[in-house]
Amino acid sequence: MYRLSVFLCLLLTLGSCQPDVEFESSGAVFRTGDNPQWAAPGYDDAGWRTERGTTGSQVFWVRHHVLLPHWDSTAALGLVVRSFGGFDVYWDGTRIGRNGQPATATRAEVPGTETSYYLVPAALAKPGPHVVALRATQVYQAAEQRFSDVKLHSYPRLLRDPLLIMAFVNLMAGALLLAAIYYLFLFSSSRQKDYGTLIFSTICLLCFALLMVEYVKFYVDIPYPRFYTRLTIIGLLTFAIALLVPLYFTIQFGLPRKGLVAGGLLVVLSGIYGLNYPHYDQTAIYLSQAMWLASLLVVVLAIRQRAKGSRLVLAGLLASAVTHYFLYFDYSLYITFTVILLCMLYLHALRVRVVENERQAAQQLSSRLKLELLKKHIQPHFIKNTLTSMLDWVEESPKQGAVFIQALAREFDLLNDMAEATLIPIGQELELCQHHLQVMQFRKEVRYELEQSGLNPEELIPPAIFHTILENGITHSIPAADGSIRFRISAEPCATGRTYALLTRARNRPAEPGAKVGNGTGLQYIKARLTESYGTGWRLHSGAVPEGWLTSITISH
Amino acid sequence: MRIVLVEDEARIARRLERMTREYFGNQLQQLVVCDSVTEALQALDATAPDLVLLDLNLNGQDGFSLLANAAAGAFHTIIISAYTDKAITAFAYGVLDFVPKPFGEERLFQAFARLATAEKKPDGGLRFLAVKKHGDIVLLDIQELRYIKGAGIYSELHLQNGKKELHDKSLEKLVQLLPASFERIHKSYIVPIAQAERILVQEGSRYHLQLKNGELLPIGRSRYKELKAKLI
């Protein structure tokens, strides 16, 4: 935030700078032909055209009249020429530089760059009227009636200003590039493919590219035939950003109908781009305004849905609108982008926190489940009743009592072994079930039988799932006339994955008044275990069937 | 002696049955064993028991609804439970004893022995009297009692707000449950000491206890001395 505010202040001072040299200039006048006299300040150019017209590969001259009301002759005066073509530049008849080379009969034109800078010799930089003349050819883009413009500046300022601007642009671009790379890594290394992260990374990369392409003009002399190429790239980058930013907000705020938003926006942006085609700067302005409006709309919707962080983003958007009002477009566009990016970074930080919380919750769930698994067998109901029965067995028939104790010890061993695991082989689970049934047989004096079919002992399932279903079956069933309760565990593949079914063959105990079926701690444990290992990729059904009670679990692959 | 035994663990139920038969011997007229709340409620209605042995957790169900029912009954209840932390609550409802699992013969017989002794426990822990009212069970705080009057096999609970409730337990059984702050002043009256104002001696050595609200209750001749010692 600090960096941003410094940046904003500096851009404000830059943007609000008046030209440092006071001068007046009349519009350019053109004449096809070639005469060294046309460079002279005294030459009367009254009949010259205000447009270049058709020149083909012919030489033409451009004259600019500038008035320098006062000037301290010890300072260095700089001249900025914005014009297409290859040309020599004359100041009051004296050649002070060239930008490319005009074509001659024997040599092709060397194209110059669109904006060129010159030092006016100190002897000639005096207050009063001056003439800047260009002897030029424009072989490329011959049909383009590009304006010709001159400006006077303090020469040191001409050297320093791009450095200052670039310092901040590079700072911003570096941050954007880092963010792009970081979020790309984050996306590619994360197991859950969060497309919000990918879009965010792309937006950062596009903004980085936009800054680079916009300000490459200070580093590279782009020949004028390529001038529009750069503007086209800028337009396309702006287009992509204007499309992605509102889309990112819809994803970030979890709004519905993202496809519709993206589609609608695409149509609007394409319309803007098509309608304003040759007017590059205007297109960029409209595109960024459309982006701003679309983002605003999304954010307002998000606020209505009370999405986290939406108010801050709204504030950011409004702030960017304010800067836009005060600043020259080029700067304000990047400030808008920067503010929006900062908003997005903030949202991302929020999201990271949510993910962190979720992970923490998952860890807590795991340790809670582990605890629950161990608690199952030290809770008073189980342990005290078991001990009471055991006491009775030991008193009445010590031999059977010893078997009972062995079975309980084995059950404890098995539980202890699986307590740390989130998934265990089915074989181990079945062994646990068998020992549990043996223990319960001693307690309840009911014969429990466990059948199985289609089970692969190597397959993995969460621990104590079948065990918990068995416990429920034991508790809620009335034994058959022969004093037995039969359980059947089976597995079979189904369309979405694998279904495990546990059938309790017995009469169900009538529900006691006030009891709710399907909400017991047992089922909650099973659900929590399934969520822990499979997320949402499971289904559990538990209900009465003619033979007794059927619990089925489907796990999707 | 008719006893209802509520326990869902077959082995433990048999153990209890064996020990109960051993203790009561010929005195035992009937012993009903049930393993669910519904069955137990039916048995309580059908049997009119003198004693209920009750497990608090039946088939995964909290037995406290049953406990409240039992506490309101005419019979004494002994809880036999794995949940020792529930003992205080059980006593607050007015059970005769709480036998924690696992239990041996000695501890169970000790609980049975309480049936015969009229002696109060110093900190019986009884806090409520469960009263059946319009098919529901209402818990009355014993702090609200003014006095209890015996009415045959029932007791009348006279409350400080002037209302009167009927309790299914006899005065004899209530005496066994009520804390030491309650005094039996007459074969038909139990009074919380805090409600007593003074003893009035009338001619023919007839004694009356004047309560804080001015009401007079007779004092049994044999109980006069003990009461006087307590009041002074």
Q: Please give the Cα distance from B167 to A302 (Å, whole number).
A: 63
A122, A147, A172 — which closes off a domain? A147
Residues for chain A: how many in total? Answer: 557
* Nearest residue, CB atoms, A384 vs list B10, B60, B82: B82
Q: Is residue A411 part of a domain?
A: yes
- Asked if residue A57 and residue A180 are part of one domain, the reply reads no
- Asked if residue A34 and residue A138 are part of one domain, the reply reads yes
Going by CATH, does the domain composed of B128-231 fall within 2.40.50.1020? yes
A384–B102: do the CB atoms touch at under 8 Å? yes
Query: Tokens 């004494």 map to which residue?
Result: B76
Q: Which fold is adopted by the domain B2-113?
A: Rossmann fold (3.40.50)
- Asked if residue A484 and residue A434 are part of one domain, the reply reads yes
CB under 8 A, 24+ apart: contacts of A317-324: A317/A292, A317/A343, A320/A292, A321/A292, A323/A8, A323/A12
A294, A322, A357 — which closes off a domain? A357
CB under 8 A, 24+ apart: contacts of A319-322: A320/A292, A321/A292
Cβ neighbours of A536 (radius 10 Å) = 8
**What value does the mean pLDDT take over residues A328-357?**
76
Q: SS3 of B152, please?
A: coil
Q: Which candidate, B194, B186, B167, B197, places its Cα nearest to that of B226?
A: B186
Q: What is the pLDDT of residue A516?
A: 52
Residue A387 sits at the chain B interface (C-beta within 8 Å): yes
Q: Please give the Cα distance from A282 to A267 (Å, whole number).
A: 18
Q: SS3 of A40, please?
A: coil
Burial (CB < 10 A; 0-12, 13-18, 19+), residue B118, is: exposed
Q: Please give the Cα distance from A189 to A326 (Å, whole number).
A: 42
Helices (H), A47-128: none
Q: What is the pLDDT of residue A370?
A: 83
Residue A512 sits at the chain B interface (C-beta within 8 Å): yes
Is residue B16 a contact partner of residue B80, using CB atoms and an 8 Å limit?
Answer: yes
- Asked if residue A311 and residue A208 are part of one domain, the reply reads yes
**What value does the mean pLDDT take over residues A300-308?**
86
A324, A357, A390 — which closes off a domain? A357
Q: Please give the Cα distance from B203 to B224 (Å, whole number).
A: 15
Q: Between A and B, how many residue pairs show a Cβ–Cβ distance under 8 A? A: 72
Q: Please give the Cα distance from A450 to A435 (Å, whole number).
A: 11
Q: What is the residue-averaged pLDDT of chain A?
A: 86
pLDDT at A19 over 70: no
Is residue A504 a contact partner of residue A468, using CB atoms and an 8 Å limit?
Answer: no
Cβ neighbours of A549 (radius 10 Å) = 23
Q: What is the pLDDT of residue A17?
A: 46
- Asked if residue A301 and residue A165 are part of one domain, the reply reads yes
Q: Per-residue confidence at A513, pLDDT binned at 50, 70, 90?
A: low
Is residue A84 a contact partner of residue A141, using CB atoms and an 8 Å limit?
Answer: yes
The pTM of the full predicted model, rounded to 2 decimals, is 0.59
* Nearest residue, CB atoms, B82 vs list A380, A390, A513: A380
Please report the residues numbered 473 through 492 in chain A whose beta carbons come closer than 8 angstroms to any beta carbon of chain B.
475-476
Helices (H), A106-194: 155-189
Q: What is the pLDDT of residue A135?
A: 94
Q: SS3 of B58, please?
A: strand
Q: Which residues of B touch A445 (CB under 8 A)?
A: 10-11, 14
Burial (CB < 10 A; 0-12, 13-18, 19+), residue A188, is: exposed
Per-residue pLDDT of chain B (232 residues; tens, 9 = 90+): 899 999 988 999 999 999 999 999 999 999 999 988 888 888 888 888 999 999 887 776 666 777 888 888 888 899 999 888 888 888 888 888 899 999 999 999 999 998 887 665 555 678 888 888 887 888 888 888 999 999 888 899 999 998 888 888 888 888 888 888 888 888 899 999 888 888 888 877 788 888 888 888 888 888 888 888 877 7
Q: Please give the Cα distance from A189 to A442 (Å, whole number).
A: 53
- Asked if residue A478 and residue A349 are part of one domain, the reply reads no
β-partners of residue A424 are: A461
- Asked if residue A351 and residue A216 are part of one domain, the reply reads yes
Q: Which residues of A touch B57 (CB under 8 A)?
A: 381
Is pLDDT larger for residue B221 or for residue A521?
B221
B103–A388: do the CB atoms touch at under 8 Å? yes
- Asked if residue A238 and residue A191 are part of one domain, the reply reads yes
Cβ neighbours of A479 (radius 10 Å) = 18
Mean pLDDT check: name the lowest of A15-19, A116-120, A234-238.
A15-19
Instruction: Copy the structure tokens of residue A109.
Output: 């034109």
- Asked if residue A427 and residue A537 are part of one domain, the reply reads yes
- Asked if residue A541 and residue A442 are part of one domain, the reply reads yes
Distances (CA, A) of A316 to A322, A337, B76: 10, 10, 74
- Asked if residue A341 and residue A211 are part of one domain, the reply reads yes
- Would you list which residues of chain B are within 8 Å, Cβ to Cβ, of chain A? 9-12, 14-15, 36-38, 57, 59-61, 65, 82-85, 100-104
DSSP secondary structure code for residue A99 in this structure: E
Q: Is residue A420 part of a domain?
A: yes
A384–B11: do the CB atoms touch at under 8 Å? no
Overall number of domains in chain A:
3
**Which ipTM was obtained for this model?**
0.81
Residue A445 sits at the chain B interface (C-beta within 8 Å): yes
A380–B12: do the CB atoms touch at under 8 Å? no
Q: Is residue A154 part of a domain?
A: no
Q: What is the pLDDT of residue A114?
A: 92
Instruction: Copy the structure tokens of residue A497.
Output: 């994955």
CATH number at residue A177: 1.20.1070
Cβ neighbours of B101 (radius 10 Å) = 22
CATH number at residue A72: 2.60.120.260
Residue A514 sits at the chain B interface (C-beta within 8 Å): yes
CATH number at residue A403: 3.30.565.10
Q: SS3 of B77, please?
A: strand
Q: What is the pLDDT of residue A331?
A: 65
Percent of chain A with pLDDT over 70: 94
A443–B10: do the CB atoms touch at under 8 Å? yes
- Asked if residue A35 and residue A110 are part of one domain, the reply reads yes
Domain boundaries, chain B: 2-113, 128-231
Beta-carbon contacts of A19 under 8 Å, excluding residues fewer than 6 positions away, are A151, A152, A153
Distances (CA, A) of A557 to A184, A462, A499, A530: 28, 15, 11, 13
A391–B14: do the CB atoms touch at under 8 Å? no
A117: left (phi over 0), alpha (psi -120 to 50) or beta: beta
Q: Is residue A153 part of a domain?
A: no
Q: What is the pLDDT of residue B147?
A: 92
Q: Which domain does A476 fall in, by range?
A: 376-556
* Nearest residue, CB atoms, B9 vs list A443, A515, A520: A443
Is residue A246 a contact partner of residue A298, using CB atoms and an 8 Å limit?
Answer: yes
Q: Per-residue confidence at A38, pLDDT binned at 50, 70, 90?
A: very high
Residue A380 sits at the chain B interface (C-beta within 8 Å): yes
The model's pLDDT over B214-224, given as tens digits with 9 standing for 90+, comes to 888 888 888 88
Is residue A230 a contact partner of residue A213, using CB atoms and an 8 Å limit?
Answer: yes
